């Protein structure tokens, strides 16, 4: 996702971040290779530089760092949490890189976010693993003439989790953006889903939670039940042989103020009402016995 455009969010939350498809194999990057520059300031022209270090030969673990183009002497670099294998590949997105195989696979993705009218931050996600993929999320900002970590939202690394982050407009027409972290833990007893929103406090120079102007989410609900066991059984029976309800969660309704409390719902969560409606139509076409409704969360 470049600074002038944003990629559309996936319609089903479980298909997070997507498959990484290398476009071409690049030569093994030399130590200090600059991967990409991102705008840091509208007024000074400063840029964030994402580069590799420690990549001298095959078998090395490359570290990725973010530095400021006009920082004094390259001070205050920020090191990303996960290292990557020697010989990074450019992924399908121009802001994403991958390396390693199976358990050693690591993908690093960068999303610029406009924290103030004239200043940008970088949302960075690193995901790795094979059967259970897990993710580190970071926000980097300009501080004291260099780059500093302002926020992190790592997963718990406790099992089948999924999360993603992204920028969103705080108010219509404003250039200033907030960012969100959307998270699901697929336990089935019940599942857990949470959406946290954040913004940059320019006066305090820190990240704070955003409670009023949050990104919209819509629940495509195909059943409400008094017990979690009934909800799980209903979802499983709706599957048929075509996995009709793949991607649907079983969630407790009480944490969501717009839902009737004390129930367990079978649902998939979407960023737009039309994608939630499309999900209901798809389930109904797969299993005509299943119907439902859309509710804003």
- Tell which residue, 28, 50, 202, 194, has the closest CA to residue 114: 202
Angle at Cα 291 formed by Cα 289 and Cα 292, nearest 5°? Answer: 160
pLDDT at 170: 94
Q: Mean pLDDT for the chain?
A: 86
pLDDT at 4 over 50: no
What local confidence, expressed as pLDDT, does residue 234 receive? 92
Mean pLDDT throughout 215-236? 95
Predicted confidence at residue 224, as pLDDT, reads: 96
- Nearest of 65, 9, 57 to residue 36 by alpha carbon: 65
Summarised one tens digit per residue, pLDDT across range 147-187 is 999 999 999 877 788 999 999 999 988 999 999 999 999 88
The residue assigned the tokens 């949302």 is 123
Model confidence, pTM: 0.84
- pLDDT value at 14 more than 80: no
Beta strands in the chain (DSSP E): 34-39, 47-53, 61-68, 78-79, 84-85, 89-90, 96-99, 106-116, 119-128, 134-143, 146-152, 161-169, 177-185, 192-201, 206-209, 218-225, 249-252, 264-270, 293-296
Q: How confident is residue 72, by pLDDT bands cut at 50, 70 and 90?
A: low
Percentage of the residues of the chain whose pLDDT score is greater than 90:
63
Q: What is the DSSP letter of 155?
A: -
Please check the confidence at residue 5 and state whether its pLDDT lies above 60. no
Residue 252 or residue 54, greater confidence: 252
**What single string gives the DSSP state of each residue in 25-86?**
PPPPPPTT-EEEEEE-BTTT--EEEEEEES-SSTTPEEEEEEEETT-GGG-S-EE-SS-EES
Residue 69 has pLDDT above 70, yes or no: yes
pLDDT above 80: residue 75:
no
Lowest mean pLDDT among 7-16, 153-162, 191-200: 7-16
User: Which tens digits make up the pLDDT trace of 26-42?
Assistant: 444 445 789 999 999 99
Residue 188 pLDDT greater than 60, yes or no:
yes
In the prediction, which pLDDT does 68 show? 93
pLDDT at residue 140 greater than cutoff 90? yes
CB 147 within 8 A of CB 77: yes
CA-wise closest residue to 108 among 151, 131, 132, 79: 79
Confidence band of 73 (pLDDT split at 50, 70, 90): low
Residue 16 has pLDDT above 50, yes or no: no
Least confident of 100-104, 206-210, 269-273: 100-104
């Amino acid at each position: 996702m470049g600074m002038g455009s944003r990629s559309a969010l996936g319609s089903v939350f479980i298909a997070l971040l997507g498959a990484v498809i290398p476009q071409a194999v690049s030569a093994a990057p030399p130590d200090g290779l600059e991967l990409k520059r991102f705008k840091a300031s509208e007024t000074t022209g400063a840029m964030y530089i994402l580069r590799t270090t420690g990549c001298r030969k095959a078998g090395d673990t490359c570290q990725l760092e973010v530095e400021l183009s006009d920082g004094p002497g390259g001070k205050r670099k920020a090191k990303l949490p996960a290292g990557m294998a020697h010989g990074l590949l450019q992924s399908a997105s121009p802001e994403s890189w991958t390396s390693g195989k199976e358990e050693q696979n690591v993908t690093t993705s960068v999303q610029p976010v406009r924290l103030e009218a004239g200043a940008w931050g970088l949302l960075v996600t690193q995901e790795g693993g094979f059967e259970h993929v897990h993710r580190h999320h970071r926000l980097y900002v300009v501080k004291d003439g260099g780059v500093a970590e302002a926020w992190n939202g790592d997963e718990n690394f406790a099992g089948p989790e999924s999360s993603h982050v992204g920028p969103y407009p705080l108010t219509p027409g404003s250039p200033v953006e907030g960012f969100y972290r959307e998270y699901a833990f697929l336990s089935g007893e019940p599942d857990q889903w949470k959406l946290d929103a954040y913004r940059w406090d320019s006066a305090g120079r820190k990240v704070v939670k955003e409670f009023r102007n949050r990104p919209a989410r819509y629940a495509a609900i195909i059943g409400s039940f008094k017990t979690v066991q009934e909800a799980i059984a209903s979802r499983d029976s709706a599957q048929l042989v075509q996995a009709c309800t793949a991607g649907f969660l079983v969630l407790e309704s009480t944490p969501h103020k717009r839902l009737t409390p004390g129930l367990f719902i079978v649902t998939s969560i979407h960023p737009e009402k039309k994608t939630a409606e499309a999900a209901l139509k798809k389930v109904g076409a797969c299993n005509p016995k299943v119907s439902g409704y859309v509710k804003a969360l």
